Chain A
């Protein structure tokens, strides 16, 4: 891993939503670095704030009801949160691109693939149409769309789910962005198609020197397969960060351990699966103190009273738990 300055620094990010006169703190102070060349994962159950974090980076939070209330997102020496709308638009799709969970609905149904895939280069690189089409063919072929040139005039509904996700990836990568944010890119796909897409992303990552992926998923197995480092989120906060070896080999947070233990494994067949007690609370019902204390098996009084800080227990391995040392 490079020791250079990180490609992207997220500092103390707070994002809120106004829902029925109440304030939902979807992300409550998230800080992390994305290094050049790495694949950084964000994992957590639904509602933990993964998508809101990633959308905040590109300032794609719908406002209203949402608002980024605090924090800095540093990219290339600038704070993205302070950029004008026009400056931010120059970043989107060109420097930082994003793909989403639902390949079926994330493409515009009434435009051809050509129009959609060439749009970023036409906008950002002011290429002429002919060159843009050449680039589109090139990148569509690279993501494994057979017979790409002929398919340019097709519409999204003429592609299967896996193929649409490939088109999304092609569209995201056509301007050769430094950062690709992928929010649950394979969740809606069958496992054999997921394997194809993950393999493709790995292959492309190998070819895109110095560029990074922020991969969001609820599936720890996908993290294990794809990532260098991983962030575990719960209740809008980072609960643990580490390399995947740290996290899978020596998980420090009770939540991380619970997630790992509840995956069905071969050797546990016939035994009870471990289950984290209770449910993820609704966004307004998270406890004060440690967000996880309402479901933690090791909860103590201090957890309910005092919110733990994110502490670095080993180099690069941070955890938000008062009792991480005792528990491990």
Chain B
């Protein structure tokens, strides 16, 4: 296989937490705690997990946004990006200035279509923002590009002079996509791009993203908490829990032959849009996802795991290999089926 366009190696993001009268460091939030992933050019990698599992933080680490908002964050490991010329650059160590030219190539789309667009800017100003920064175009060429982009995302070019509040959620997400595409990026990190949308509109945006991927050869890191939609769009899927990837494989492997108890639980928790589809074999996890401030020792999932054993507390489990593309961080996956948690047929 070719060199991945993006490769995360033992990526760590630890946020210090300050407290007490002297505002000293009292704890560390290990939001991302040793994540390794590779993304190949032109594919969609789905990143799924419950809220607080660190998905957004992974996305923000890749576009090097974390230092700007949390200056004392600890960033560990490597984030290797392969440029068009084939050079590999570690994004983790880059300063803002060094990152600047790469920002055009790695763009982001955000979850909340209501707060991610500046309400005081017109659509044209929003979409042309990154063009101004990264491309050398004169006013007219910029305007033409904005109109072209708007049509590409299914909006009339006459909308360019309007303001975000005049648009529905789905239309705003299209504007966000036009902004992300404005600099001809190679990778688009889409952080929950459809989570705030109604199903009928969600389908429109997903279809649009797929069309754009075909047309521009984009690579997507598609982040969502809804495993159904992630399965639909992804070539490969990484499942995150408490700052770690617990399972990683092709969409089919993760979905149909999931090996990690958390993936199984996640899949079985999704209700089926079919009245006869109620399954007696649902794994209902007990309790809540622990806070990353007080991560359990060893395997992070053991406090809610139906097949946990005392050994799980000792050390973080290594990845077991199930095929050359399928890995899961659980050594006891065989017992999953014995313990009254038979393999669940995937449901969406």
Contacts and interface: CB of A to CB of B under 8 A. Distances in A.
Given A262-B203, A268-B232, A275-B200, 6 more contacts: A161-B288, A191-B226, A221-B271, A264-B229, A266-B255, A280-B198
B170 A279 contact: yes
Contacts of B278: 224-225
A46 B198 contact: yes
Query: Which residue among B203, B275, B282, B285 has the maximum number of chain A CB atoms within 10 Å of its CB?
Result: B275
B63 to A, nearest CB: 25
B271 A225 contact: yes
Residue among A45, A46, A192, A263 with most chain B CB within 10 A: A192
A224 B272 contact: yes
Interface stretch (B120-128, B139-147, B204-212, B323-331): B204-212
Interface string B217-244: 0000000011111011000000000000
A162 B203 CA distance: 28
Contacts of A218: 198-199
Contact of A273 (B50, B203, B265): B203
A192 B206 CA distance: 24
B207 A275 contact: yes
A219 interface: yes
25 contacts: A45-B200, A160-B288, A161-B288, A190-B225, A191-B227, A192-B269, A192-B284, A193-B288, A194-B271, A221-B273, A248-B273, A259-B199, A262-B199, A263-B199, A263-B273, A266-B255, A266-B346, A269-B231, A272-B210, A274-B203, A275-B207, A276-B201, A279-B171, A279-B201, A280-B201
Nearest to A160: B288
A195 B226 contact: no
A244 interface: yes
B277 A224 contact: yes
A220 interface: yes
A198 B271 contact: yes
B348 A266 contact: yes
B109 to A, nearest CB: 18
Contact of B232 (A198, A245, A273): A273
Contacts of B202: 262
A221 B198 contact: no
A196 B284 contact: yes
Contacts of B284: 192, 195-196, 199
A308 to B, nearest CB: 20
A37 B332 CA distance: 43
A142 interface: no
Interface string A210-225: 0000000011111011
A319 to B, nearest CB: 18
A2 B273 CA distance: 26
Nearest to B228: A264
A269 B275 contact: no
A279 B168 contact: yes
Contacts of A225: 271-272, 278
A107 B201 CA distance: 32
A265 interface: yes
Given A199-B284, A225-B278, A273-B207, A191 B269 contact: yes
Given A199-B284, A221-B273, A192 B199 contact: no
A259 B201 CA distance: 10
A192 B275 contact: no
Contacts of A245: 275
A220 B275 CA distance: 10
A315 B329 CA distance: 53
Contacts of A273: 203, 206-207, 232
Contacts of B51: 190
Those 7 A-B pairs whose CB atoms lie nearest each other, nearest first: A275-B203, A276-B200, A221-B271, A264-B232, A195-B269, A273-B203, A262-B203
Contacts of B266: 191-192
A296 interface: no
A313 to B, nearest CB: 19
Nearest to A255: B200
A266 B347 contact: yes
Contacts of B200: 45, 258-259, 262, 275-276
A45 B198 contact: yes
Contacts of B85: none
A129 to B, nearest CB: 31
Contact of B348 (A46, A222, A244, A263): A263
Contact of A275 (B201, B288, B346): B201
Contacts of A266: 231, 255, 346-348
Interface in A119-161: 160-161
Interface string A269-303: 10011111001100000000000000000000000
Given A192-B285, A221-B272, A45 B199 contact: yes
